[in-house]
Structure 1
């Protein structure tokens, strides 16, 4: 009852204010978002319309940014002109410039616009509908069954009275994963990025996916979103704060942008754990829930530097105190005398010269001054933090549309774990931040190249070093689902180092070619090589995976973990 009262109160508060025309949020897609963000880096200045540290972005704000690009001189190559046209067509209802109509609409009403299977727009109601399809097939040596994905569904977006925007998406999927992804699912009991699943043809999985949100403006500076989706914090390929790896979750987001400041509040409910039947499948029982609160203040310093500071808290029960959008969570925790899971940290980006960007993150889970600086003991179990450092180079070596990215991530053992039940930084048995959890180091290198306007090339290589647990009843700090106060924590209070436990080294390289046949219709070809060595393996485990795909309005699959 109290949650219904809370929701009703929030809705009354939000709708009582003056509202302004705005758009739905664009689902987070690394390829799509890179096309937007590369022009900020190329200009060497912070985005004048919105802060990029908290994703996803709103369509009307992206459209306003595209209009500034069209009026400037950054768009030079044929690929850049194609990208500007592609992004503008995708958000045409908010573009001030003239955008394309389809040359040959079907039956006069189908695909009148390149981006919309069907749309209707008048002074009150705006509506867009599209099919979402992902058909792929692949081969992995040594595996009997064909690797595949078969996803079908629909997405809707639009607005009412130009004041309340909405988006909804649903698909049904049957898939057989590459071997290392299947091993991950069997070990964790969760399909990355998805929720409830069923078995499909023995070694495959079937699942229904649904996401949706509504959003509106309280004022010119305050925006509200209520939805069931994912969020992503930072500028990197990975995030150590909040990533898009876990299952979508319900949340309320309040975003306030004033002058050089952007303050984001996120309140959400997570799935703390899942119950399984005798065959290892999720049951229909009510799963335990937990509550997550996060706020981040982003500040533009000068024209090309942005820094964000954040605080997050995970609780195993709802508490009104954490609804205060501008309170310091750590103080509340002390006042209540509750051992809630609190994390602090910062992220930054620096467009230090046109075409180049430095970025990074630092997350602090637990801090004891003497142990952190090695005064009272080295490598304490309470020394829990993570670090990210990255570099982006757009139009590298003066080659148009050749973009490079280098990234380093590391997280100390036991970070994100907690000693009390249902307080670890997880959702539906998957990490809320990095896919590896903790106790790892990782190097990522990405090359993106667009040699032709419709051809997108992506080569991603990564090296991972981490320590695994030898058994379920031993905890060396990687598995964020485990209790860090377990009596079998491996090392003890001191001497805990990254890679402890069973040492693993993974090298992965992925080549992906995507050709856009028409707006948001892609033919993909990819090949992945993966090699894993471990102390408990007699010889390296090497495999390859080759697949071809047809995608329509869907995000490309990556298996880079």
Structure 2
């Protein structure tokens, strides 16, 4: 069964069955794989994404979509290229390559603020394999856009397009202009080891959000080693992040840098139960005098990072976490995460709201064939982060990258519940999402929501409750209907609607908008915050 599913996956990508394929991560696409990944009859490592595809890891269940309208004999070349194939596709015995043009053209209307929105993106993707052990993938995008009101305000506040790069035009213009690219090269010498060098994003967890490591922030350079031993998969990664909020040493040096080291062990105890153990360290790059930089103490791929940080007597930012999933029913899986930034047991049980009790957790359910409807995938999830979680003395040490969170996009000091559903019938795709959150905004004092604010600017030691500060209610509704033109790169016509409300005692900001466009790619673009 594993081999058959993987063969179908490679057919979708246009690669030979002997190669290792790089599978870019997109939550909406991965959710369609629920039936393969979360059935009690399978045992996959589902919490480490994106994945390098082989018959012992994540595989896709998109065979029915990839075959729709395929007729290589009778369909003319132009029809096949538009609806069924990559723009360029070469498959030889010792190498394979594909290339696509990736458009994302949208127009919409923010009716509450009377703004006509638009997006003009021209992109590309190139992927392939060399022999049986090397694979590569790269993509690039040139973009101009007029965003709705709340996204424009967000971009102007930090100078960064969500999940991408800095805004070229700056806060003085409503039109935004940016470009970004990703690139990944993988070497898999045998069934035990996989080495990946890339400039991209990573994700740890089984949910839509991750409280440990998510794909919310911009892409970053990393080197990753993944070891597979039976039912255990172990990841070690070193990465470099940027901090545009800190003052630059000089124009030539660019944005200030910081480093991260990450370990994650995922153990499939049996077909139903999986447990995971996570740790990370963030430390700032060289200061103005040129000291420190990359710390070789964190090079050991199997050592417990928190212990080394303590032995060094260093001021670095350590975080540990745990993950778990249990397939309660054949089509229902319970999953969760626990992240601990700082923890003082006596203060937790004293119930005084000590600021230094910095932790977050997640609990969710997900599955497939809801209400006995084949292909109806679902997720329901609860997330919570205490005040000051992920924050540090400076943004150069916090758990963030490019002014955004490495974990949850809301930062900290919040509770959130959300649900996501999707369904596909032939080439018609339907999705629906609803988020509700309560959080505390800063109102003249640091209450621990903004992870870029130094935690030593707080006004006290006690009295910090989750949601404290300017109490704010958040609601987000998103519905989309798509007609898939070419499943190879998710080329589709898409009609979407969004309703967002952020309400507190000082303001009531609403956004109601409709969008329509010709879209492609499998990338995540978050706007539900």
Pairwise CA distance, 1:275: 6.4
Q: Deviations over 1:137-185 (max 9, x none)?
A: 0001143542011110211011222321111111100111121111211
**What's the TM-score once normalised by structure 2's chain length?**
0.89
Corresponding residue for residue 359 of structure 1: 335
The alpha carbon displacement at 1:458 in A equals 1.1
Contact (CA 8 Å) 2:486, 2:492: kept in 1 or not?
yes
Residue 150 of structure 2: which of 171, 180, 183 is its match?
Answer: 180
Matched residues in 2 for 1:557 and 1:333: separation?
A: 34
| Deviation string, structure 1 residues 207-249 (Cα, Å, up to 9, x no partner) | 1110001001133211010000001111111111111110000
Shift of 1:188: 2.1
What is aligned with 1:106?
A: 77
1:28 aligns with 2:29: no
Aligned counterparts of 1:320 and 1:101: Cα–Cα separation in 2: 54
1:115 counterpart = 2:85:
yes
Task: Tell me which residue corresponds to 2:415.
Answer: 441
- Name 1:195's counterpart in structure 2: 165
* Helix, strand or coil at the partner of 1:104: coil
Partners of 1:114 and 1:231 in 2: CA distance: 29
For residues 190 and 503 of structure 1, do their structure 2 counterparts lie closer, same or farther at Cα, with a shift above 3 Å needed? same
Q: CA contact under 8 A between 2:29 and 2:522: conserved in structure 1?
A: no
Structure 2 CA distance for partners of 1:436 and 1:107, relative to 1, 3 Å: closer
Residues 107 and 180 from structure 1, CA distance in 2 versus in 1: closer, same or farther, beyond 3 angstroms? closer
CA distance in 2, matches of 1:153, 1:276: 32
Residue matched to 1:465:
438
SS in 1 for 2:33: helix
Aligned residue among 164, 168, 179 for 2:134? 164
- The question of 1:455 aligning with 2:449 is answered no
> Is residue 2:102 matched to residue 1:132?
yes
Confirm whether residue 402 of structure 1 aligns to residue 376 of structure 2: yes
Q: Is the 8 A contact 1:168 1:211 kept in 2?
A: yes
| 1:44 correspondence with 2:17 | no
Q: Which residue of 1 aligns with 2:50?
A: 56
CA distance in 1, matches of 2:326, 2:58: 22
Distance in 2 between residues matched to 1:63 and 1:336, nearest whole Å? 37
Match of residue 288 from structure 2 = none
Deviation at 1:276, TM superposition (A): 8.7
SS of the residue corresponding to residue 360 of structure 1 reads strand
Counterparts of 2:26 and 2:384, CA distance in 1: 24
1:211 partnered with 2:182: yes
Select 1:259's aligned residue among 227, 230, 233: 230
Task: For 1:64 and 1:187, locate their aligned partners in 2 and report how far apart those are by CA, in whole Å.
Answer: 38
Given candidates 299, 304, 317, the residue that maps to 2:267 is 299
Deviation (angstroms), 1:345: 1.0
**1:289-323: CA deviations, max 9, x gaps?**
00001101111112111110100110113101101
The TM-score with structure 1 as length reference comes to 0.84
1:46, CA displacement in angstroms? Answer: 4.1
Query: In the alignment, is the contact (CA less than 8 A) between 2:24 and 2:50 conserved in 1?
Result: yes
Q: CA deviation at 1:556?
A: 6.4
Q: Do the aligned residues in 2 keep the contact of 1:346 with 1:363 (CA within 8 Å)?
A: yes
Match of 2:367 in 1: 393
- Which of 217, 225, 233 is the aligned partner of 2:204? 233
Figure out how many residues of one structure are paired with residues of the other and give that number: 500
Residue 85 of structure 1 corresponds to 64
Question: C-alpha deviations, 1:349-378, integer Å up to 9, x for none?
Answer: 11111110101110000011211222xx52
CA distance in 2, matches of 1:112, 1:442: 41
After TM superposition, the structure 1 = structure 2 runs for residues 316-395 of structure 1, keeping only pairs within 5 Å, are 316-317=284-285, 318-374=294-350, 378-395=352-369
- For structure 1, list consecutive stretches of 5 or more residues without a partner in the other structure: 1-19, 70-82, 90-98
Segment drifting more, 355-364 vs 196-205: 196-205
Question: Tell me, what secondary structure is at the counterpart of 2:239?
Answer: strand
Q: What's the counterpart of residue 478 of structure 1?
A: 449
Q: Aligned with 1:438: secondary structure?
A: coil
CA contact (8 A) 1:22 1:217 kept: no
CA shift in 2, pair 1:345/1:107, >3 Å = closer
2:289 aligns with none
Structure 2 stretches of 5 or more lacking a match? 1-16, 286-293
Contact residue 199 and residue 220 of structure 2 kept, 8 A: yes
Is the Cα contact below 8 Å between 2:112 and 2:512 reproduced in 1?
no
Q: Distance in 2 between matches of 1:456 and 1:382?
A: 45
Larger RCO (CA under 8 A, 6+ residues apart): 2
